[in-house]
Amino acid sequence: MPELPEVETITRQLRPHLEGRVVEGVEILDPRWCAPDDAAGTEEALTGRRLLRLDRRGKHVAWRTDGGTLLLHLRMTGTLLVGADADVPYQRVVLALDDGTVVRFCDPRRFGTGRWFDDDAAATAYLDDRLGPEPLGDAFDGAALHEAVRRRRSPIKALLLDQLVVAGVGNIYADEALFFARIHPQRPGDRLTRAQCTALAEGVRVSLQHGIASGGATIDDFRHVDGVEGWFQNDFQVHRRAGLPCPACGAPVIKRVVAGRGTYSCDRCQPRPRARRTTAPGLRPRRAP
């Protein structure tokens, strides 16, 4: 699934093509893209709108127009292509702009979504209700992360994937951030110290910034607006490197499943957490008679 760096990359690449342009035509080829809203109504709402700016919030691209906002989510396999051939496969939406530019939303698995809001404030409120702080913004730091996880027993990997804890982080960048901070992905959130949360917040920022600088990561379907792949996958430290030597210590990278996701870590650099005690110290469980 495209994560924050991939969505940020797409947003930056789209801006010169879209900002200031007028949408002359919209064709929604798959009504599920905007469900439960009506496809014809969404086409009508977008047509004739001038695109003022594109913003990113978490994994969403917000198309701010002179009469409302379109929130677009790529989900697992969505791509936005500019100038692609008319017969490019898996097209779900086609937008024609007043300068002749054509933007095609393609999505093999058809999970991507677009939702129109007549009011910008309503679109912003919709996102704020579902997303935590932006990891590259001032509101996210070690103190904020510690406050978000200190009462939760879930593995920290699962908590990083919770979009209410921090917006935009997914499987790839959670693994890379945890390796940076030398924290095991199975460590419960309530067992992280303030210092560990500070290191992890920095790891999140560093991994995301590296991903953006590399144009995102292409493992399966992610593409730039011109169809080119990202290249951050060539710089992974642990993600998808099971059995290969850890770049820090040489021990083999381990793959396990955490929170239902394939998870990669070095058990030497990221020590496994000790099991919680089930009885009070100094007491032995009673034996059955």
pTM, entire model = 0.92
Q: Is residue 289 part of a domain?
A: no
pLDDT of residue 278: 61
Same domain, 119 and 148: no
Concerning whether 157 is annotated as a catalytic residue, the answer is no
Task: Tell me which H or E stretch contains 86.
Answer: none
Q: Per the structure, how many domains does the chain have?
A: 2
Same domain, 116 and 148: no
What percent of the chain lies above the pLDDT cut of 70? 95
Q: Is residue 270 part of a domain?
A: no
Same domain, 45 and 76: yes
277 DSSP assignment: P
pLDDT of residue 288: 47
Q: Is the peptide bond before 31 cis (omega within 30 degrees of 0)?
A: no
Task: Check which CATH number belongs to the domain holding 244 and give it.
Answer: 1.10.8.50
Average pLDDT, the chain: 94
Q: Is 50 exceeded by the pLDDT of residue 115? A: yes
* Mean pLDDT confidence for 55-75: 97
Q: Residue 11, SS3?
A: helix
Q: Is 50 exceeded by the pLDDT of residue 289? A: no
Q: How far is CA 163 from CA 4, 128, 235, 245, 267, in A?
A: 11, 11, 25, 31, 26
Concerning whether 32 is annotated as a catalytic residue, the answer is no
C-alpha–C-alpha distance, residues 80 and 54, integer Å: 13
Concerning whether 3 is annotated as a catalytic residue, the answer is yes
Residue of 95, 76, 73 lying closest to 84 (CA atoms): 95
Residue 248, domain extent: 142-265
Concerning whether 59 is annotated as a catalytic residue, the answer is yes
Instruction: Exactly one of 21, 49, 57, 59 is catalytic; name it.
Output: 59
Same domain, 194 and 114: no
* Mean pLDDT confidence for 239-256: 97
Task: Check which CATH number belongs to the domain holding 123 and give it.
Answer: 3.20.190.10
Rounded to the nearest 5°, which phi and psi values hold at 71?
A: -100, 120
Residue of 157, 159, 149 lying closest to 190 (CA atoms): 149
Q: Tell me how far apart the terminal alpha carbons of the chain are, to the nearest angstrom.
A: 54
Same domain, 125 and 171: no
* Mean pLDDT confidence for 45-57: 97
Same domain, 36 and 64: yes
